[in-house]
Amino acid sequence: MNKDLNLNENLEIKKALKEFEMKNVEQKQQTPSAPINPEIPRMIQWVIKYSGGSVKNEKHALYILLGFVVVVIIITIILSLNAFSGPSEAPAGFRGNIPNTPEYQNPPRPEDLR
């Protein structure tokens, strides 16, 4: 590196640094940052943040969360009713896991085994 080179007196470097600073300030101003309000619940802030811009305010986010909860409750009720209902009847002629071979078609009766 050249020790005789004085960067402070170079006009081109000063001009480039000023341009860089101006672009950096413009980028910071263009970046939208959602105001974090400590009074708004975190769940609502999360919905607003990750909605992709479709949810604009707290009231709309609250309705989205409420709708999600209603859908989850309905799904839970449907699954519970199906899980706790009695077993359905077997179709007519259903014989379970009995193979369809001659030795299993006419099994001996218990009385014949004595």
Q: What is the pTM of this model?
A: 0.47
- Residue 31, pLDDT > 60, answer no
- Residue 2, pLDDT > 70, answer no
Domain membership of residue 76 as a residue range:
40-46+53-82
Query: What total number of domains does the chain contain?
Result: 1
Residue 68 lies in a domain: yes
Residue 89 lies in a domain: no
pLDDT in tens, 79-95: 999 888 877 777 777 77
Residue 19 lies in a domain: no
Residue 7 lies in a domain: no
Q: What is the pLDDT of residue 18?
A: 82
pLDDT band, residue 76 (cuts 50/70/90): very high
Handedness of CA 81, 86, 91, 92 (dihedral sign): negative
Which residues fall within 8 angstroms of residue 90, CB to CB, at 6 or more apart? 96
Residue 73 lies in a domain: yes
